[in-house]
Amino acid sequence: MRKRGPLIIILQFIALVSFAQAETSSGEITVNENDITLEAVLDMISEQAGVNFSYNPQYIDPQQRLSLSVKKASLSRVLSILEKKVNAEFKVIDDFVIINLSENPVTDGTPLTLSGFISDESTGEVLIGATVGVSGTSRGVFTNAFGFYSIQLKPGKYTLSYSYIGYENKEVAVDLSKNEQQDMTLGALPIDLPDVTIGIPLRNLLDKKEPSAPEMSPEALQSMPEFAGESGLVKGLQSLPGVSMHSDGSAFFYVRGGERDQNVVIIDDAPIYNPSHLFGFYSLIIPDFTKSITVYKSDMPADLGDRLSSIVSIRTKDGNINKFGFSGAINPIMYRFSVDAPFVKKRGSIFVSFRRSNYEWLYKRSQPESRVFFYDLNFKWNHKINDKNRIYFTTIIAGDNFGSRGDNGAESGIKWGNSAATFRWNHIFGPKLFSNTTIYTGNYAYRIFSTQDFWLSGLSTLSLKSDFTHYTSSQITSKFGIEAQAYFINPSEISLDTDLPIFPDIKPNYSRKLTLYYQGTFGLSEKLTLNAGLRVINWANTGPVTYFDFDENFEVSDTLSVGNGVYHNYLRAAPRLSLQYEINDYSRLKLNVGLYQQYLQVASNSGSPFTSMEVWVPAGPNIKPQSALHLGLSYLNYFERPNMEFSASAYYKHSENQIDYKPHAETLLNPLLDGDLRFGTLRSYGLEMMLKKNTGKLNGWISYTLSRAIKNTPDLNNGEDYLAFQDRPHELSLLLNYHFGPKVRFTGYWTIFSGARFSSPTGFFNFNDQTIPIYGEKNNDRLPAYSRFDLSFNFILNKKLDSKFQHDLTFSIYNATAHKNIVKLNFNKIPVEGDRPIVPINRLAINTLIASQTDFIRFFPSLTYKFKL
């Protein structure tokens, strides 16, 4: 009986998809022909639509061959498609359709380049992924991460269409006779209007969609129900198909069955090694500071970095170059404020955002000596030097403090924090060559301290990257560059009173990485696009350092001390390839394959949901780089009428050199940590499906993921396969937004997924009068299914929607049904009347142990006020 649940869910999902498809089938003309003459196509249309075609065969060749696939489409829709295919104009007069040559006849002239930036009309913020299309053709390009576009056209007159989601389209006539730079500004549509339709050419919209790299706009993120006043990045990511959460309150996430340290969050290129506050309850990224979020789950661009499972690329807002802006939010747990202001009007601006917790009232009465808080400070400066040069500087500082003041006023406690800074220089060498040079640094550290003493562990990165984009032709775009990175890892630096035991001396280690990369997009035909990329990586460990060799029994066989310079290195290639096929104007199919590498990993033998004292370890003599082969097939279909889209992705991953741990491995203060690691493989596969309705009073999405993750580590579990912690066969999520009117919105989010795998005892024995568990197969058991329903109501408080001062109130409930989502099971405690179970310590007492379960966050309401000036 228990197994029927997922089946019913799948059937319901399929039924829903079928219903959605049926809803789109209300047109008039159906043609599905390949390699057919124009004349034959026109005959079919005449027969079905009752119209006659009139044209001059001297100009319009009736024998030209083409393919057409439309299903119950309107006449105007079909003619629009034909216009692009035969480069002609179709005019309907009564029952006649007159065909004339296009005003833009194809010439033999040398292609010219039109390039420029697209930005927000009001703020000057450059728009990432905005489209530039040539009306009457299928040609179109997107702006890059800096809002730059470049398109090749033959000399002539064109009408260009500039568009971006949530913005008004702009059509501009261009008479192209030489290479030109044309910057464009677009005006934002009024926000929160549910019936606004997306005015982007369908083809461009579909080309931009990528199931293996979903985008999450900050607006979409903020529309999700909040936890304690904030719709966190990580919680938003966890709602995407293929992304699994650890448990409530955790910032850990798993992508397509990979390990949690196989994901990286980069902000303006700089890595954030621990993107959470308060152990994971809050995400580090301030929503107001974010411009775009893209999650690469597969087919990762060669320019982005080396991770096996995902790269979450966040681009931050530049700031308003036209006028001063002020926004903020406050609730009982935290407050945040953001200011953006023109630095040099029309040319530069600064953006500053600050957030701090204010939950002191929760503990001050009972623990007045405590100092527990977190904070973020984000800053960005951008300046347009001239039309060809622009610079950006971003810095992010974030910290958590758990401290307590003693009688002498000195504070003891634990602090941890991230800092990152990026300096970028955009330079346009010419209409076809765009470059971006970046220097960035990222740092993560935790520090346990008491007056003068401390225990510090950290990781720092310094990088220089030069990236070039060459718009070779309308069919070929090339991206290439070089990146040099240095890593400094300090596993533990300890300063203690001299009369205390000395901790092992664990020296910092240094590594560097040099990467050359290339990523090309090739239009092989009208329907087929090839993406090919390659990273060539040299990873080197550098001295001075003392390291250990281990024998086959993981015992130290040699101790080696090396001086300055490289003492070990790896040279690896990471190729990737994808083919996208345009089935018809409504659907796309994509096949991708890639080999990915990873050189930096977290050593943690803890199943805890919280960020704890972790150690970062680089690839080196004892740790080979992790690698993963990705295979993926994705399908995307757009339903025009109800403005819905359906996407499905199937994937398979095989990862090598996957880290696991010997039983009870110690990762803290362990100079022989490498000897506690065990290496194996991880196989994961799955199917992700999503049906999404973008507009209307009722919109949202439903997604279902079927996935498995299986590990094999020869030195563990008798060499047998075992299911990974993150093996979650079924995941179902539903997000619904309902607009009661222009000022009130309800959002409901429900998710249910299979529980995590864990090891439960298969027996017990006694030693020293204690009950000791025995474990059999690794991860032999599964936690109960996770289920959560969140809801929120958003009320816009300003009288006019377009008023200058905008403010709203959001009431959210996290886990509104108070479902007990189990994080851990224990078998070592005794019950206590009216209190939590505890661990017994008297070995002579008769202790009747119980199984106990721990869960977090049952029903958490919050109320947040936000404003924008």
Partner 1 sequence: MQISTFRLLLLLLTVSVGFMSCEEEVDWELATGGNEKLVVEAILTDELRFQEVKLSQSYDQLNGEPPAVTDAIVTLSIPGASVNFIHNDTFPGIYRSEIPFPIVDNLDYELTVEWQSEIYTSTSNLSNVYPIPQVTYRQFGNSDNLLVLNEFVPLYHPNQQAMYEVDIIWSHLTGNAADVAKTYFYTFNNVDISQLVRPDRADLPFPRGSIIVVRKFGLNDDFAEYLQALVIETDWTASLFYSNPSSLPTNISNDGLGFFSTCAVLTEILIAL
Q: Does 510 bind partner 1 (CB under 8 A)?
A: no
58 vs 768, beta carbon nearer partner 1:
768
Q: Which stretch binds partner 1 (CB under 8 A): 108-116, 338-346, 697-705, 841-849?
A: 841-849
Separation CA 574–CA 628 (nearest Å): 10
Among the residue ranges 5-13, 410-418, 542-550, 592-600, the one whose residues contact partner 1 (CB under 8 A): 410-418
Q: Which residues pair with 430 in a beta bridge?
A: 433
Least Å distance between CB 11 and partner 1?
29
C-alpha to C-alpha distances, 367 to 410, 449, 665, nearest whole angstrom: 16, 19, 35
Q: Is 408 in the site for partner 1 (CB under 8 A)?
A: no
What residues numbered 468-497 form the site for partner 1, per CB under 8 A? 496-497
* First vs last C-alpha separation in the chain: 56
By CB under 8 A, is residue 2 in contact with partner 1?
A: no
Q: Which is nearer to partner 1, 229 or 594 (CB)?
A: 229
Q: Per rule CB under 8 A, is residue 720 in the interface with partner 1?
A: no
CA-nearest of 323, 353, 289, 384 to 122 is 323
Contact between 401 and partner 1 (CB under 8 A)? no
222-251 residues near partner 1, rule: CB under 8 A: 249
Query: 514, 708, 761, 817: which one contacts partner 1 (CB under 8 A)?
Result: 761
Tokens for 863? Answer: 């109320």
Nearer CB in complex with partner 1: 27/755: 755
Cβ within 8 Å of residue 150, ≥6 positions away: 113, 114, 115, 141, 431, 432, 434, 469, 471
DSSP characters over 19-73: HHHHHH---SEEEEEEEEEHHHHHHHHHHHH--EEEE-TTTS-TT-EEEEEEEEE
In this chain, which stretch among 422-430, 475-483, 584-592, 606-614 interacts with partner 1, using CB under 8 A? 606-614
The DSSP result for 583-597, as a single string, is EETTEEEEEEEEEEE
- The candidate with the shortest Cα–Cα distance to 221, out of 155, 147, 295, is 295
- Give the contact letters, 345-384, x = binds to partner 1 (CB under 8 A), - = no: -----------------xx---x--x-x------------
Q: Is 772 near partner 1 (CB under 8 A)?
A: yes
Alpha helices in 28-176 (DSSP H): 38-49, 75-86
Residue among 383, 743, 858, 868 that touches partner 1 (CB under 8 A): 858
> Does residue number 843 form part of the binding site for partner 1 (CB under 8 A)?
yes
Q: Which are the contacts of 31, defined by CB distance < 8 A and separation ≥ 6?
A: 41, 44, 45, 68, 69, 70, 78
Quote the CA–CA distance of 149 and 85 in Å, as a whole number.
Answer: 25
Q: Which residues within the stretch 72-131 sit at the binding site for partner 1 (CB under 8 A)? A: none
Q: Name which of 607 and 621 has its Cβ closer to partner 1.
A: 607
Q: Which of 781, 793, 807, 811 binds partner 1 (CB under 8 A)?
A: 781
Evaluate whether 347 touches 383 at the Cβ level (below 8 Å).
yes
Q: Is 410 a binder of partner 1 (CB under 8 A)?
A: no
Show the tokens assigned to 567.
Answer: 């003492």
Bridge-partner residues for 867, per DSSP?
Answer: 328, 807
- What are the DSSP calls for 433-487, one per residue? EEEEEEEEEEEEEEEEEETTEEEEEEEEEEEEEEEEEE--SSSEEEEEEEEEEEE
What does DSSP assign to residue 167? Answer: B
CA neighbor of 542 nearest in space, from 507, 572, 569: 569
Q: Is 712 in the site for partner 1 (CB under 8 A)?
A: no
Q: Which stretch binds partner 1 (CB under 8 A): 41-49, 68-76, 801-809, 856-864?
A: 856-864
Of 154 and 507, the one with the shorter C-beta distance to partner 1 is: 507
List strands edge to edge, sheet with 140-142. 140-142, 131-134, 156-163, 170-176
C-alpha angle 459-461-467 in degrees, rounded to nearest 5: 155
The backbone torsions φ and ψ at residue 717, rounded to the nearest 5 degrees and listed phi first, read: 55, 35
Residue number with CB closer to partner 1 (692 or 778): 778
Does residue 559 bind partner 1 (CB under 8 A)? Answer: no
Which segment (192-200, 298-306, 621-629, 761-769) binds partner 1 by CB under 8 A? 761-769
Instruction: Supply the Cα-derived Rg of the chain in whole angstroms.
Output: 29
CB 818: neighbour CB atoms within 10 A? Answer: 13
CA angle at 368 for the pair 362 and 369, rounded to the nearest 5°: 125
Q: From the list 850, 861, 863, 869, which residue makes contact with partner 1 (rule: CB under 8 A)? A: 850
Site for partner 1 in 657-676 (CB under 8 A): 661, 663-664, 666, 668-670
- Round to whole Å and give the CA distance between 617 and 599: 9
* The one among 825, 865, 867, 868 contacting partner 1 by CB under 8 A: 825
For partner 1, give the closer residue by CB, 33 or 781: 781
Q: Which stretch binds partner 1 (CB under 8 A): 94-102, 264-272, 334-342, 773-781?
A: 773-781
Helices (H), 195-314: 202-208, 218-223, 233-237
Q: C-beta of 221: minimal distance to partner 1 in Å?
A: 23
503 part of the interface to partner 1, by CB under 8 A:
yes
Among the listed ranges 140-148, 430-438, 590-598, 817-825, the one in contact with partner 1 (CB under 8 A) is 817-825
Query: Of 442 and 609, which has the nearer Cβ to partner 1?
Result: 609
Beta pairing, strands 757-758 & 744-753: unpaired
Q: Pattern 625-664, binding to partner 1, x per CB under 8 A?
A: ------------------------------------x-xx
| Beta carbon of residue 310, minimum distance to partner 1 (angstroms, whole number) | 23
- Which of 337, 375, 393, 402 is the binder for partner 1 (CB under 8 A)? 402
Which residues inside 310-349 make contact with partner 1, applying CB under 8 A?
none
Of residues 195, 500, 559, 802, which one binds partner 1 by CB under 8 A?
500
Q: How many residues bind partner 1 (CB under 8 A)?
A: 96
Which window, 22-30, 339-347, 374-382, 443-451, contacts partner 1 (CB under 8 A)? 443-451
**831 within 8 A of 869, measured Cβ to Cβ:** no
- Quick one: which of 341, 391, 849, 865 contacts partner 1 (CB under 8 A)? 849
Which tokens belong to 652? 């398979």
Of 28-36, 86-94, 551-559, 604-612: span binding partner 1 (CB under 8 A): 604-612
How does DSSP assign 718-759, residue by residue?
GG--EE-TT--SEEEEEEEEEEEETTEEEEEEEEEEPPPEE-
Residue position matching structure tokens 């550098």? 542
Nearer to partner 1, 50 or 861 (CB): 861
Residue whose CB is less far from partner 1, 311 or 615: 615
- Among 174, 532, 613, 736, contact with partner 1 (rule: CB under 8 A): 613
The smaller minimum CB distance to partner 1, of residues 295 and 398, is found at 398
Among 117, 252, 279, 547, binds partner 1 (CB under 8 A): 279
Residue 853 contacts partner 1 per CB under 8 A:
yes
Rounded CA-CA distance 382/542 in Å is 36
Tell me the window of 102-110, 637-645, 733-741, 823-831 that interacts with partner 1 (CB under 8 A): 823-831
Retrieve residue 223's tokens.
């529309």
Residue 25 binds partner 1, judged by CB under 8 A: no
Helix, coil or strand: residue 41: helix
Of the ranges 60-68, 168-176, 788-796, 821-829, which one interacts with partner 1 (CB under 8 A)? 821-829
In angstroms, the Cα distances linking 644 to 85, 164, 190, 519 are 26, 18, 22, 31
Task: Retrieve residue 481's tokens.
Answer: 């560059």
Indicate which single residue of 451, 561, 718, 803 sits in contact with partner 1 (rule: CB under 8 A). 451
Q: Which of 455, 517, 539, 547 touches partner 1 by CB under 8 A? A: 455
Contact 190, 822 (CB under 8 A): no
- Residue 413 interacts with partner 1 (CB under 8 A): yes or no: yes
Whole-number Å distance between alpha carbons of 469 and 466: 10
